[in-house]
Every structure is written in structure tokens, then in C-alpha cells.
């Protein structure tokens, strides 16, 4: 008698390689690959840019499955009713999926597991999203780490994770396939400019994730330690959206970079080793962001340092719109915000600069910025987005102190000295000399005239003076410090 079919529930693991849930199901017998669009069931539903990537990635996954004589079944949630409906119609007794670690998703998985069990259906969960289970790493008092360096040092002491699973040689099809909705029904509404920009900049899917990894390992990684902060240079992997959607596993990524480290251990190439180790450290920063989100589930809405809940954030719609659209008058900030609008992505150094500007120059809340990024990023990841914004605002665990206020002019001069990044994304300043590209308002009239720029017409004047904004931010922070001191004294 043939084995009953099992469901593999794909979520943030849109790949066949190193997918333990898929590998386990394939060993059991026939497999029904399923993706469920959660819709309103998920509080953190993907924004338009992220959903654009999701649809492309699902199409790629379906193509990979069809090469194994299988296919992807797409349904809408709620998850419990959709899974039970498919299972009851085809006699499915077991469902396999990989864990999600976002607090709401983890709670929902527990509820789904209980509901399925009541219907006589088993749900087996596997680990593939992270290298380290957040529950297994605690300090000597049994509490979660709040400082990255301590977390990093502890992680280095842990045994290596299990071997990656290979792509199944074949997938046995069920006796009949359940109905599936058309993938086009999941497509987001995008304005033509955004759609063109995303299409031009990205190729979602597992095959391209692996291609980009190989390109990174045979080029940029050698100079990663020096070039990773230069937005005008192709010095990073740009794998973040592929990693977010699980088109490549962190284990495959870690192993591939480790091999580079080991093969470059000879004294003749210390920079390669240093660069590879610096990149591995960034992978663990991602782990730390998930670790913090897991242990402090309120962090997407509330600051980790509670006194910041009383911070005197401002409501300034005009300045917020200028920031969102890259019209602040600060070229480094504007270049980053326009890159985001056009490509759905932003260089990490620029993310820090624009976040610092919003929260400290404009005193607009980090939650507001995090929401804008969530809607616009193709790699909109709850853990990393939350951690990054709380870090920039100075209110998170192991965050930059609030009084560390990035000067966008100095940041530009240091990390984009010739203004190549600015000239790409703020083309109206393309002919401004290097000396003035980061502060066009300080340029002589003759220099601006020769560059064809009239401030206030072709490019805006700064919406805020840096020195005044810095003093205003420090005064607001002094209020928080005074409140903290008063609380401690009480």
C-alpha cells in the first residue's frame, strides 16, 4: 500500500537545498509542496517591495519543483483551515515545515500545531532559518545576552550545526493534486517607476542567490573589510533579500565563507582571512537581531530601554515627507532614500546615516522610520529592521548611544569622498565639484552656476541646520537622562 502524502509548508525557506523539512518529507513518501498567503493573519504582512520579491521567488521555486516532477500549491490562509482542508481531501497525516522565530509567528505555530493535532494531523518543525536556536544561548545567570560581543564569544564556543541537507534527487507526486490559486493573485500594486527599478536591480530565486554568493567569494570578499562601508563601491554581498526569503540558508553561507577563510589561512593573504571573518561576524549580527527579538518580543513597537517611551519625539509631516523622498538637502541622506525608492534596498552604512538623521536631526520616532523601511525594503526583515532602528535611535540593546549623532557631511566625506554614490542617486548634483558635493549650500555661487544647480530650485536647501539639530537632540536626550537619574534615585 502506498504511503500517504505529506505536506511541506514553505514559508521563509524558498529553496530545495538545505531544507530539512523538505528532506524529511521526501523520505516519507509523496510530497505536496504548499505555500499559504497569510494575508491579514500576519500582523507583519510583507510590504509592496517585499511582496514583489516573494512572488518572483515563488515562481522560481515552482520552476525548481517542476524539474523534479512536482509543483507548488498556493492557497490563502488562515493557515489552520487551509492545511486541514488540503489534508482531509487527500488523506494527509503529517505536515513538515521549518520554524519561524518572529514572536507572533512562533505563537501562531504553537496554536496551529494544537489545532492540527486535534484533527489527527501531525506538524513537525525543523530549524533552517538560523544557525543558533535562541533558547540555547544564555549567560551564566540563565538570562539572555544583551551585548553582541558576549553573544558572539559564546556562539564561537558552540559545536557546529548539523550537516546541510542536499536537494532531493526526486520528489514523489501525490495520487492527485489539490487546487491552487494563480501566483499572479499575490502580486502587489507597484507604481511603474518602482516596478522598473526592482526588475532592473534584482533577480530573486535560489539559483541567483548561489550565483551571487559565488561572485562575492571570487571577488569582493577579499576587500570586504575595507570596502564594506563604501556605498559607491560593489563591496558587499547584497545577499540580504535572498537570505531573508530563505533562498539560501545561513548554514550554506557560513560554510562557504568558512572554506574561504581556511583556504586563505596562509600568511600571504591575511586580508582575505580578515575580510571573511568580518563577513562571518555580520552573519552573527543577524543571529543576534533574531535572538533579541525572540527574547524581547515587544521590541518592534517599544524601545528596549523603557525611558525612551517618554522621549519627546516630534510630529513633523513636512520634514518626514522630505526624508522619505530624498529631499532633505543633505546629499548623503537623499542619495540613500532615493536608492531605497528605486531599488528596494539600501547600503548598510547609508541605513545608519538616514536613520540617525530621522531620529536625531528631525527627532521623528524610530518606529516611523522602521515602518517606512518595512514598506519599501525587499529585505524587510522584522528582526533586522527593528534591531537596526533601535540601534540608530540609541534605545535598543547594544545600541549606539543617543548622543552619537552622525554628521551627514562628514559621513559622506569619509565614506564617499569623490561623491560617486551621490552622483548616481542625486543626478542634479552630478557636476558639483568633489569639495562641495556633500555640502552644496556652502559652495560658491560660481561653482553651483558652473554645475547648473540653483539651490531651492534644482536641489533643496537643508531642511535643518546640523549644529542646531544636534543641540536640540542633545537637549531632548538630557531630559531622558534626568528622568533616568530621578528614577534610579527613587
Kindly state whether residues 82 and 137 are assigned to the same domain.
no
308 and 367 Cβ atoms separated by less than 8 Å: no
Please say which residue of 128, 150, 181 terminates a domain. 128
Kindly state whether residues 28 and 101 are assigned to the same domain.
yes
Has residue 396 been placed in a domain?
A: yes
Kindly state whether residues 233 and 87 are assigned to the same domain.
no
CATH number for the domain spanning 236: value is: 1.25.40.80
Q: Which helix (H) or strand (E) holds 76?
A: strand 73-76
Has residue 196 been placed in a domain?
A: no
59 and 74 Cβ atoms separated by less than 8 Å: no
Boundaries of domain holding 231:
130-162+204-295
Has residue 148 been placed in a domain?
A: yes
Has residue 425 been placed in a domain?
A: yes
Kindly state whether residues 274 and 319 are assigned to the same domain.
no
Give the pLDDT confidence of 258-305 residue by residue, as tens digits.
887 776 555 567 888 899 999 999 999 999 999 999 999 999 999 998
Has residue 178 been placed in a domain?
A: no
- pLDDT attached to residue 261: 73
Closest alpha carbon to 434 in 357, 341, 293, 331 = 331
- pLDDT attached to residue 161: 72
- pLDDT attached to residue 449: 97
Global model pTM greater than 0.85: yes
Kindly state whether residues 450 and 407 are assigned to the same domain.
yes
CATH number for the domain spanning 92: value is: 3.40.50.620
Please say which residue of 276, 295, 314 terminates a domain. 295
Residues 6+ apart with CB under 8 A from 461: 329, 441, 455
Kindly state whether residues 158 and 89 are assigned to the same domain.
no
Residues 6+ apart with CB under 8 A from 333: 323, 326, 353, 354, 357, 408
Has residue 119 been placed in a domain?
A: yes
Please say which residue of 260, 276, 295 terminates a domain. 295
Kindly state whether residues 263 and 355 are assigned to the same domain.
no
Has residue 414 been placed in a domain?
A: yes
Kindly state whether residues 325 and 228 are assigned to the same domain.
no
**Strands, sheet with 73-76, edge to edge from the N-terminal-most edge strand:** 73-76, 31-37, 6-10, 94-98, 122-126
Kindly report the backbone phi and psi dihedral angles of residue 189, in degrees, each rounded to the nearest multiple of 5, phi listed first: -90, 115
Q: If DSSP codes are grouped into helix, strand and coil, which group holds residue 300? A: coil
Kindly state whether residues 269 and 384 are assigned to the same domain.
no
Number of domains in the chain: 3
Kindly state whether residues 329 and 381 are assigned to the same domain.
yes
- pLDDT attached to residue 88: 94
Give the pLDDT confidence of 100-128 residue by residue, as tens digits.
999 999 999 999 999 999 999 999 999 99
Q: Is the peptide bond before 431 cis (omega within 30 degrees of 0)?
A: no
Kindly state whether residues 116 and 135 are assigned to the same domain.
no
Kindly state whether residues 65 and 158 are assigned to the same domain.
no
- pLDDT attached to residue 265: 53
Residues 6+ apart with CB under 8 A from 327: 321, 334, 460, 463
Q: What residues in the chain have per-residue pLDDT under 70?
A: 1-2, 39-41, 263-268, 483-490
Has residue 195 been placed in a domain?
A: no
CA 39 – CA 46 distance, rounded (Å)? 9
CB atoms within 10 A of CB 415: 18
CATH number for the domain spanning 392: value is: 1.10.579.10
Amino acid at each position: 500500500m502506498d504511503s500517504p502524502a505529506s505536506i511541506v509548508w514553505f514559508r521563509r525557506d524558498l529553496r530545495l537545498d538545505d531544507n530539512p523539512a523538505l528532506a524529511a518529507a521526501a523520505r516519507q513518501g509523496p510530497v505536496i509542496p504548499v505555500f499559504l498567503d497569510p494575508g491579514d493573519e500576519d500582523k507583519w504582512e510583507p510590504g509592496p517591495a517585499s511582496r514583489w520579491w516573494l512572488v518572483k521567488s515563488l515562481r522560481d521555486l515552482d520552476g525548481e519543483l517542476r524539474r523534479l516532477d512536482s509543483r507548488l500549491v498556493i492557497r490563502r490562509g488562515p493557515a489552520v483551515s487551509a492545511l486541514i482542508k488540503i489534508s482531509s481531501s487527500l488523506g494527509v497525516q503529517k505536515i513538515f515545515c521549518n520554524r519561524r522565530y518572529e514572536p507572533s509567528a512562533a505563537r501562531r505555530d504553537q496554536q496551529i500545531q494544537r489545532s492540527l493535532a486535534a484533527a489527527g494531523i501531525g506538524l513537525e518543525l525543523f530549524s533552517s532559518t538560523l544557525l543558533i536556536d535562541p533558547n540555547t544561548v544564555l549567560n551564566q545567570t540563565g538570562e539572555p545576552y544583551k551585548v553582541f560581543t558576549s553573544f558572539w564569544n559564546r556562539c564561537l564556543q558552540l559545536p557546529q550545526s548539523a550537516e546541510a541537507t542536499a536537494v532531493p534527487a526526486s520528489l514523489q507526486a501525490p495520487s492527485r493534486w489539490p487546487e491552487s490559486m494563480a501566483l499572479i493573485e499575490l502580486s502587489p500594486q507597484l507604481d511603474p517607476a518602482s516596478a522598473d527599478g526592482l526588475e532592473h536591480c534584482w533577480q530573486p530565486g535560489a539559483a541567483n542567490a548561489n550565483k551571487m554568493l559565488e561572485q562575492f567569494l571570487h571577488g569582493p570578499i577579499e576587500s570586504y573589510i575595507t570596502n564594506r562601508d563604501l556605498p559607491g563601491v560593489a563591496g558587499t554581498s547584497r545577499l540580504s533579500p535572498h537570505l531573508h526569503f530563505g533562498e539560501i540558508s545561513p548554514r550554506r553561507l557560513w560554510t562557504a565563507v568558512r572554506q574561504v577563510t581556511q583556504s586563505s589561512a596562509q600568511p600571504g593573504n591575511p586580508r582575505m582571512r580578515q575580510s571573511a571573518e568580518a563577513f562571518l561576524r555580520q552573519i552573527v549580527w543577524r543571529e543576534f537581531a533574531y535572538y533579541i527579538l525572540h527574547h524581547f518580543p515587544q521590541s518592534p513597537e517599544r524601545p528596549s530601554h523603557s525611558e525612551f517611551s517618554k522621549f519627546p519625539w516630534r510630529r513633523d509631516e513636512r520634514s518626514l515627507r522630505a526624508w522619505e523622498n530624498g529631499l532633505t538637502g543633505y546629499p548623503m541622506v537623499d542619495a540613500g532614500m532615493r536608492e531605497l525608492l528605486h531599488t528596494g534596498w539600501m547600503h548598510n552604512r547609508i541605513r545608519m546615516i538616514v536613520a540617525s538623521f530621522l531620529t536625531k536631526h528631525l527627532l521623528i520616532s524610530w518606529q516611523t522610520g522602521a515602518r517606512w523601511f518595512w514598506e519599501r525594503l525587499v529585505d524587510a526583515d522584522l528582526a533586522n529592521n527593528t534591531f537596526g532602528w533601535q540601534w540608530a535611535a540609541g534605545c535598543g540593546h547594544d545600541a549606539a548611544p543617543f548622543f552619537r549623532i552622525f554628521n551627514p557631511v562628514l559621513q559622506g566625506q569619509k565614506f564617499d569622498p569623490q561623491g560617486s554614490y551621490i552622483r548616481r542617486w542625486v543626478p542634479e548634483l552630478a557636476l558639483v565639484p568633489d569639495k562641495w558635493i556633500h555640502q552644496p549650500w556652502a559652495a560658491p555661487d560660481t561653482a553651483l552656476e558652473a554645475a547648473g544647480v540653483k539651490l531651492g530650485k534644482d536641489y533643496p536647501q537643508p531642511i535643518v541646520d546640523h549644529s542646531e539639530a544636534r543641540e536640540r537632540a542633545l537637549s531632548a536626550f538630557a531630559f531622558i537622562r534626568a528622568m533616568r537619574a530621578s528614577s534610579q534615585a527613587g
